[in-house]
Amino acid sequence: MGQKVNPISFRLGYIRTWDSRWFAKKDFAAFVYEDRKIRDFIKKKLYHAGISKLLIERAGDKLKVKIHTARPSIVIGKKGSEIEKLKQEIEKQIKRPVILDIHEVRKPELDAQLVAESVALQLERRVSFRRVMKKAVFTALRLALRAYG
């Protein structure tokens, strides 16, 4: 049996960057746990918004969370009300100031995370797996050829 390498760590620094950007000497374990807690909370709360990626940056006592989503209007809400509620809930959990940035994913059909969640959601609704997979691959290829070819 060969040695297994995590595909994310294999690509770090070359193709993609870290999902959390901070440095700590003392509180490393606490920060990792806090990051996991934030990620789980946001993914659970905003599952229907199509969260593609969460980037967490720390500078001093401030915490900056960048949310890449397919549907930013669901995350932001009317006049920013939903984003303020989300910010307050996160601050209450971790007890430090949080800055939220929302970024739109322009083509969600080309984002691997969003395609996988879409396939999983359809399989949960008991749609035929062959039809789901064919449709996902077809739309991704069609859009990729249109965008890059």
Q: What is the CATH number of the domain that holds 36?
A: 3.30.300.20
State how many domains the chain has: 2
118 and 64, same domain (yes or no): no
Pairwise CA distance, residues 87 & 73, whole Å: 16
What's the pLDDT score for residue 7?
85
Contact call for residues 105 and 49 (beta carbons, < 8 A): no
pLDDT in tens, the chain (149 residues): 688 888 888 888 888 888 899 999 898 999 999 999 999 999 999 988 999 999 999 988 889 999 999 999 999 989 989 999 999 999 999 999 999 999 999 999 999 999 999 999 999 999 999 999 999 999 999 998 987 76
Shared-domain flag, residues 94 and 119: no
My answer on whether 65 and 135 are in the same domain is: no
Count CA atoms closer than 13 A to 85's CA, side-chain side.
11
Location of structure tokens 């009317």: 78
Cα–Cα dist 13/54, whole Å: 17
- Give residue 31's region: left, alpha or beta (phi > 0; psi -120 to 50): alpha
Is 113 inside a domain boundary? Answer: yes
**Which residues, 6 or more positions from 44, have their beta carbon under 8 angstroms from its beta carbon?**
none
- At 106 the pLDDT is 92
For 115, the domain range is 108-148
Same domain as 65, residue 34 = yes
- What is the model's pTM? 0.85
In this structure, the answer to whether residues 82 and 117 fall within a common structural domain is no
